[in-house]
Amino acid sequence: MKLTLSSSPHQRTPRDTGQVMRLVIYAMLPGLALQWYFFGWGVIVQAILAVLAAIVTEAAVLTLRGKNIRHAVSDFSAVLTALLLAVSLPPLLPWWMTVIGAVFAIAIVKQVYGGLGYNMFNPAMVAYVMLLISFPAAMTMWMPPQTLAASTVNLGDTLSVIFTGFSNAGYDVTQLRTDWDGVTMATPLDAVKTGLTQGLTYSETLNMPVFSGAFAASLGAGWAWVSLAYAAGGLALLRLRVINWHIPVSMLASVVVVSLLIHLINQDHYASPLFHLFNGSVMLGAFFIATDPVSASTTNKGRLIFGGLIGFWVVIVRTFGGYPDAVAFAVIIMNMAVPLIDYYTRPRTYGHHSHVRSGKGKRP
């Protein structure tokens, strides 16, 4: 008999890696579509740029390593990494930054460690953090929802801004980010953090234009719908048993509990749990990023700890750190802790008894 050993991700279903990756991509489509609806064509352009750069990089590195290009590229892992990176980027980010991020995610974070199944960190999140640290100004240039923008950015303008820095009418990204009153827009997370540092209360920050929308005032215009769409896709993955419930549930529960405790301490200065859940990338992170089968914990107890601590770090960094959103940082922090978590949560081997219990192995 031949014993075959393989690295994660392991699946208990007949699905192969390519099928699993495709299902995750399909589940992302509702969220991607709503991001396009609210924030324009840049979302689609960034996704195409990232996917092309990721596939080319994967093929090039595998060629250098003498690996089977067709099999590795067809597993769609590079495409999924590129999409996760793309939806985290501002829609009008310069094209070369997107390409650098995708190349870094595949060549450095994934392939340098040995390829799929060997990478310690989530490639998309490490690439996002690298871009955020390297180009902080560009990485915060998120567009306002189309309903609040002074002018709609069509496909032609989007391509012009991404590849030249200016729209067809000569506007740069900063000018395109203004609302009807000429005030530069910010994301809800940026708006709250900036308002609090300027001495405003949490309730006063909710009077900003970005909080006008179909949802309650505590949610940002457009952002809550996008979060709900990613949550719906995540629930579909749970229903299909593509992912386990432990990480999403523990992460979301942790975000609610930690943010609620902080909010109750000072409701004028700390955001509510509802705000944390439906702004930024919490839903995307809970169902699509933290559940990465390669860089996440592999035991059920470990997944609960892993997800819970990600939720904890998200709220802590958002509240007390220098960055408005913190999902990427939280995931990377906990990726480093996975070996330790798995070591202390590994299940006992069937039939195994400790030496102390059985009276064996005791020193005289």
Q: How confident is the model at residue 70 (pLDDT cuts 50, 70, 90)?
A: confident
The answer to whether 293 and 303 have CB atoms below 8 angstroms apart is: no
Distance CA 97, CA 107 (A): 15
List beta partners, residue 178.
184
Give every CB contact of residue 100 below 8 A, 6+ residues apart in sequence. 131
Kindly state the tokens that stand for 114: 């040995």
pLDDT at 180 over 50: no
Q: Which helix (DSSP H) or strand (DSSP E) does residue 338 occupy? A: helix 327-345
pLDDT score recorded for residue 282: 94
Distance CA 285, CA 311 (A): 10
Residues 271-306 as b/e (b if ≥16 CB within 10 A, e otherwise) read bbbbbbbbbbbbbbbbbbbbbbbbbbbbbeebbbbb
Residue showing tokens 């995750």: 24
**CA neighbor of 8 nearest in space, from 103, 120, 104:** 120
pLDDT average, residue stretch 347-358: 56
pLDDT score recorded for residue 192: 77
What is the SS3 assignment for 17?
helix
Distance CA 161, CA 173 (A): 7
Q: How confident is the model at residue 228 (pLDDT cuts 50, 70, 90)?
A: very high
Number of Cβ within a 10 Å radius of residue 178? 17
Q: How confident is the model at residue 275 (pLDDT cuts 50, 70, 90)?
A: confident
- Considering the chain, what percentage of its residues have pLDDT values greater than 70? 82
Count how many Cα atoms sit within 13 Å of the Cα of residue 268 in the half-sphere of its side chain.
3
Residue 97 has φ and ψ, to the nearest 5°, of: -70, -40
**pLDDT tens-digit series, residues 129-154:** 999 999 998 898 887 776 555 567 78
Distance CA 147, CA 62 (A): 44
- Considering the chain, what percentage of its residues have pLDDT values greater than 90? 54
Cα 163 to chain centroid distance, Å, stands at 25
pLDDT average, residue stretch 17-42: 93
pLDDT score recorded for residue 220: 56
Cis peptide before 94 (omega within 30 of 0): no
Average pLDDT of the chain is 84
Instruction: Count Cβ atoms within 10 A of the Cβ of residue 123 and give its class: 0-12 exposed, 13-18 middle, 19 or more buried.
Output: buried
Q: Where are the domains of the chain?
A: 185-344
The answer to whether 111 and 65 have CB atoms below 8 angstroms apart is: yes
Which of the residue ranges 320-324, 329-333, 346-350 would you say has the lowest mean pLDDT? 346-350
Read off the pTM. 0.85
Q: How confident is the model at residue 186 (pLDDT cuts 50, 70, 90)?
A: low
pLDDT at 207 over 90: no
Amino acid at the residue 207: N
The answer to whether 299 and 254 have CB atoms below 8 angstroms apart is: no
List beta partners, residue 184.
178
Count how many Cα atoms sit within 13 Å of the Cα of residue 350 in the half-sphere of its side chain.
0
Distance CA 30, CA 236 (A): 11
Residue 291 has φ and ψ, to the nearest 5°, of: -85, 5
